[in-house]
Chain A
């Protein structure tokens, strides 16, 4: 068990390493570098050469990768091409804001998804299930920018209850994001809830159809006891991984949603960085996002291992 955990940790670390390699080589292949971006039209002759020497761009790619990667390990992502600010400084507020957005959406979405998913499964093929399932399908298939636009039209345009765009600056304290953050959170939570709900539903149904549940029913175990003791623990375990994958979706979906709502988060910073061809910043953000993804999946795997009685007892035996 301990070895499995260590193995899993190593695997996560290798993945982050590979991701950093992919990001670095992708940016390396793109035409232009930090200096052509920084100097714009002046990027020629001596000025360009001088800038490249200053930033150390004339060194071989492998060495630059090593410098960048070791810096990233210490939390230093280098200097942004524009305004020559430190990237870690530029990014920290944005990370906080995106986290605020994502965590709020998760905090609302996960309990909602579990309740509705279990309900839908227990009332399988009844009216409630059909209603919840079709609601989930529409929420997860309609593009998030479409649902965002509709929500803005209804709640901001017609009813005028909520602001349609966020005008708060990136370094504002958390309290100031209210009420502008409500609509983006609703859109994010809606899509996530739909994905998780579907998995919860099918997982619960699978267990309900299993032999040991039939056995328990035949033995005369009370219905509520069957659901609470036999069905839910077994059905909800695999959902942990889907929640983690949904977080992965969230990392991408947040880019579109932040742009729609003008929310000062990491996603919008990334779109801006790409438009400005600020490659150093793009590299940094990509690495952060990918690391979050890997860590979340790692946590989900470990949680599943720990929650699995078979693996847990294996650990006890070994100790």
Chain B
């Protein structure tokens, strides 16, 4: 089947080989290496942190309120005397879990719909794209807040909400990527062979838009993290006493001039993760040859 004019893109290589190759290419750029190291470091910490934190994240102490960093509490304590190091190490778990589950779902469904629309075109395409445009005309925060107010803020709400919302802009990207492919000879050949729409999408189109979708997924991941922590910051996300970076930054604001450590450590943690993802995504885009210079902030 491969002989019928399908381009010998690297996507046709075996998956494990492909992944190793990609990681190597990302690591070959200094910014990509820094980014990937940051991401892996954060993922490792978020998995291992329950076993390595020095204190109980809920342990309140009246004698330790806003005490500066010392040998017992390396990052100091917060306004309730809780250990900032413990809470910073644990503070990304919720955010990473939610976004890491929601991102692949968003990219897959958005990608599938986008590719489908790119293939069939016509009236269905026009109608759906109008709705997508209308949906994107509302600021994300309004949509998120409306849903959260209705259904609460548990993981069972946040994951599907993020997965649905962040899949919608993916439709556009996948549709545009599919448009570059649908007119190729190998798609025509597949049609001539009598393949149905579904198999054309899965066998011919999807592998060819996968590069664009991977880069898009990395970007969506960082935007989701941003959304998640913004919601926590506004008080609509994780509920206390669960440690969360956005919530910690929000709590520490009042005391920041006298106790900067309570806010600066979670700020450093959140920023380094988001910057890490972005650097990795940039390096990934360059390695795959996907142009994301014109990417708009949505």
Contact = CB atoms under 8 A, between A and B. Distances in A.
A140 to B, nearest CB: 7
Nearest to B226: A143
Interface stretch (B81-89, B101-109, B128-136, B194-202): B128-136
Interface stretch (B59-67, B205-213, B268-276): B268-276
Given A14-B130, A202-B293, A249-B297, A19 B278 contact: no
A242 B136 CA distance: 15
Contacts of B270: 143, 146
A286 interface: yes
Contacts of A274: 145-146, 149
B298 interface: yes
Interface stretch (B21-29, B113-121, B179-187, B252-260): B252-260
Contacts of A248: 136-137, 139, 296-298
A124 to B, nearest CB: 13
B257 A157 contact: yes
Interface stretch (B40-48, B155-163, B229-237): B229-237
A143 B274 contact: yes
A259 B234 contact: yes
Contacts of B138: 19, 22-23, 286, 289-290, 293
A138 B222 CA distance: 13
A159 to B, nearest CB: 10
Interface in A153-209: 153, 156-158, 195, 198-199, 202-203
A218 to B, nearest CB: 27
Interface in A10-44: 14-16, 18-19, 22-23, 26-27, 29-31
Nearest to B134: A18
Contacts of A270: 142, 145
Given A18-B130, A274-B146, A149 B267 contact: yes
B263 interface: yes
B249 interface: yes
B71 interface: no
A270 to B, nearest CB: 7
Contacts of A14: 130
Interface in B212-259: 222, 226, 229-230, 233-234, 246, 249-250, 253, 256-257
B233 A256 contact: yes
A319 interface: no
A294 interface: yes
B17 interface: no
Contacts of B279: 137
A157 B253 CA distance: 10
Given A15-B134, A143-B270, A195 B297 contact: yes
A280 interface: no
A86 B140 CA distance: 26
B122 to A, nearest CB: 17
Given A146-B267, A149-B253, A255-B141, A22 B146 contact: no
Contacts of A282: 142, 146
Contacts of A26: 143, 146
A198 B137 contact: no
Contacts of A156: 257
A256 B139 CA distance: 11
A19 B294 contact: no
Contacts of A150: 267
B150 interface: yes
Contacts of B271: 138, 141-143, 146
Contacts of A30: 146, 149-150
A256 B130 contact: no
A97 interface: no
A16 to B, nearest CB: 8
B140 A252 contact: yes
Nearest to A32: B150
A290 B293 contact: no
Nearest to A138: B275
A231 interface: no
Contacts of A203: 293
A140 B297 contact: yes
A259 B234 CA distance: 8
Given A19-B138, A145-B229, A153-B260, 15 more contacts: A15-B134, A22-B131, A145-B233, A145-B246, A146-B249, A149-B249, A149-B267, A153-B263, A203-B293, A245-B298, A249-B297, A251-B139, A252-B139, A270-B142, A289-B139
Closest 4 interchain pairs by CB?
A252-B139, A157-B257, A202-B293, A18-B134
Interface of B: 130-131, 133-143, 145-146, 149-150, 222, 226, 229-230, 233-234, 246, 249-250, 253, 256-257, 260, 263, 267, 270-271, 274-275, 278-279, 282, 293-294, 296-298
17 contacts: A19-B134, A23-B138, A29-B150, A137-B278, A137-B279, A142-B271, A145-B230, A145-B246, A145-B249, A152-B256, A245-B296, A248-B297, A248-B298, A255-B139, A271-B145, A271-B234, A290-B134
